[in-house]
Amino acid sequence: MRKKNILLGVTASIAAYKACDIISQLKKAGFNVTVCLSKEAQRFVTPLTLQSLSRNKVFYDMFEEVTDYNPLHISLAQDNDLFLIAPATADCISKIASGICDDVLTCAAASTKAPILIAPAMNENMYNSKIIQGNINKLKGIGVKFVGPKKGHLVCGTEGMGHIADTEQIVKEAKKALK
């Protein structure tokens, strides 16, 4: 049986460190994981760390020189059974909902034929805003699935809705999306 391929998108959230555990658990479950990072996510977690854990090249530069002509955002998007974005910032969710394709991650989201599963992580006020909720509902309306967020400790020092879902829940929902 063919190993299932997951493209993991990581965005610029303090929760980006969770991507390391998500990769480890998905690999342990037998999935092949390839990572794409938003440019800003590299401030929170390095490509080298994610490459070491996934054992695959990490993609973050849409204009990286290629040896065989196959646009990166298209080739990334077509070879996967699931596109999991964890953590997903308000910025990323809004760009995808609006069709804005300004980095490798958002271009891959617009190009993929695979199911998309998003694990939001942001401040409670952002998460509950009518704008973000409208974008989430728009994406749900076209079949994008969401896992979390949950109520928990936020980087601003308060407790509230917007904390990324637990790694186990994200992995469980990824497995479910692949059935």
- pLDDT by residue (tens digit) across 19-38? 999 999 999 999 999 999 99
Active site residue 156: yes
Whole-angstrom distance, CA of residue 122 vs CA of residue 163: 7
Whole-angstrom distance, CA of residue 143 vs CA of residue 96: 13
The tokens of 12 are what? 């610029």
The partner residues of 160 in beta bridges, in order of sequence, read 152
Task: Map out the domains of the chain with their CATH numbers.
Answer: 5-177 (3.40.50.1950)
pLDDT at residue 2 is higher than 90: no
Q: Given this model, what pLDDT does residue 67 score? A: 58
- The stretch 94-115 carries a mean pLDDT of 94
Catalytic residue among 20, 36, 101, 156: 156
**Cβ contacts of 152 within 8 Å, gap of 6 or more:** 159, 160, 163
CA distances from 131 to 21, 90, 116, 138, 155 (A): 30, 9, 20, 11, 21
